[in-house]
Amino acid sequence: MSLIWGLAAAVVIGVGAGVLSGGHSASRSHVRKPPKRLARAAVPVDASYFEPSACMAYAPTHGNRHLTVFLDAGHGGLDPGSIGRTESGKTIYEARLTLPVELDAMALLRARGFRVVVSRTRDTSVARLTKADVDGNLLTAAGVHADVAARAQCANRGHADALVGIYFDAGAPNNAGSVTGYDAARPFAAKNLRLAKLVQHDVLTAMNRHGWGIPNEGVQLDGGLGSVVNAAAGDAYGHLMLLGPAKPGWFNTPSMMPGALIEPLFITDPFEGSIADSSLGQHVIAGGIAEAITQYFDATGSHTN
């Protein structure tokens, strides 16, 4: 996640061996296109409001819990998110890494009986952008704001019962570890915290089961995970827009369900970046997210019918 959420972040160079701990090679990911069968299964939540291929709903593939989960693959389109490097020196972009994690988690959750709404299925924005939202090949501040707000709108219009944002972290080369954020200002703050704890624990456990030794940065208030678009308004807001409350004149359409946002790895750390760029790492993170969401709903007595 960039320091100004939605704009490109710092590039940190690191070169190493290109092999994951425990003997796992870092199989390089690309912007994987959803298979045709996935496209056929997609139902647009609101084709008039969102970018084509964005905000899509998918029915369960096994059983039906009659519960909907919203997954947000951070950034996308003109917004690459944070930029890092793998141990082999390959440049990697956050937006291209969050998408396969989201799609993998979606498939796992559908197989567990959940209806899943995803923010995007390709390397695109979520909002239908206007001329005011784009400056050349970059998003304007208004464009960033609109695209993040659209993700909360997607969760709401998709009637989600819970949401999880999937992002990656960035910082100095020695910064590493997994962190999950939640918002304490919402009426459902206790549910936010419970979901965040499960996501952090299950994703970190899944990664370290492979011997990767990812540090635990814990569960934190969302205001400490990054800033929003406009400095003055953002400082006054003090939340991540995906998770936070309404602020009249700044953000009028907040998400209306419990949520958490995970940054499982620093892509500016070459070792962690190599994991994030690998199909194995992406699937392991997705599995932890799916397990956490299942546990969250199981605790409420919501089971497959």
Determine, yes or no, domain membership for 278.
Answer: yes
Backbone angles phi, psi at 299, to 5 degrees: -70, -20
Summarize the confidence of residues 88-115 as an average pLDDT. Answer: 98
Summarize the confidence of residues 284-298 as an average pLDDT. Answer: 98
Angstrom distances, CA of residue 87 to CA of 19, 24, 103, 264: 8, 13, 25, 18
pLDDT > 50? residue 176: yes
**pLDDT confidence of 123, banded at 50, 70, 90?**
very high
Determine, yes or no, domain membership for 207.
Answer: yes
> What does the block give as tokens for 305?
């019918």
pLDDT > 70? residue 5: no
Summarize the confidence of residues 79-94 as an average pLDDT. Answer: 97
**Least confident window among 34-43, 168-177, 225-234:** 225-234
pLDDT of residue 33: 58
16-36: b or e for each residue (b if 16 or more CB lie within 10 Å)?
Answer: eebebeeebebeebeeeebee
Backbone angles phi, psi at 211, to 5 degrees: 80, 20
* Tens of pLDDT, residues 242-288: 999 999 988 999 999 999 999 999 999 999 999 999 999 999 999 99
**Least confident window among 127-131, 191-195, 260-264, 300-304:** 300-304
Average pLDDT of every residue of the chain: 87
pLDDT > 50? residue 231: no
Most confident of 4-18, 169-183, 275-289: 275-289
Angle among Cα 2, 100, 39 to the nearest 5 degrees reads 125
Q: What is the CATH number of the domain that holds 208?
A: 3.40.630.40
Summarize the confidence of residues 155-184 as an average pLDDT. Answer: 96
Determine, yes or no, domain membership for 250.
Answer: yes
For residue 177, the Cα-to-chain-centroid distance in whole angstroms is: 16
Determine, yes or no, domain membership for 272.
Answer: yes
Percent of the chain with pLDDT over 70: 84
Which residues, listed in sequence order, are joined to residue 73 by a DSSP beta bridge? Answer: 166
**pLDDT confidence of 136, banded at 50, 70, 90?**
very high
Determine, yes or no, domain membership for 249.
Answer: yes
pLDDT > 70? residue 41: yes
pLDDT of residue 230: 44
The CA distance from 243 to 241, in Å, is 5
pLDDT of residue 1: 56
Residue listed under structure tokens 């390089």: 28
The CA distance from 134 to 140, in Å, is 5
Closest CA to 103 of 65, 132, 76: 76
Residues contacting 175, CB < 8 A, separation 6+: 169, 266, 268, 269
- The number of distinct structural domains making up the chain is 1
Residue range of the domain that includes 69: 36-298
pLDDT of residue 128: 96
Summarize the confidence of residues 2-17 as an average pLDDT. Answer: 29
Residues contacting 249, CB < 8 A, separation 6+: none
Q: What is the pTM of this model?
A: 0.88
Residue listed under structure tokens 């003109």: 78
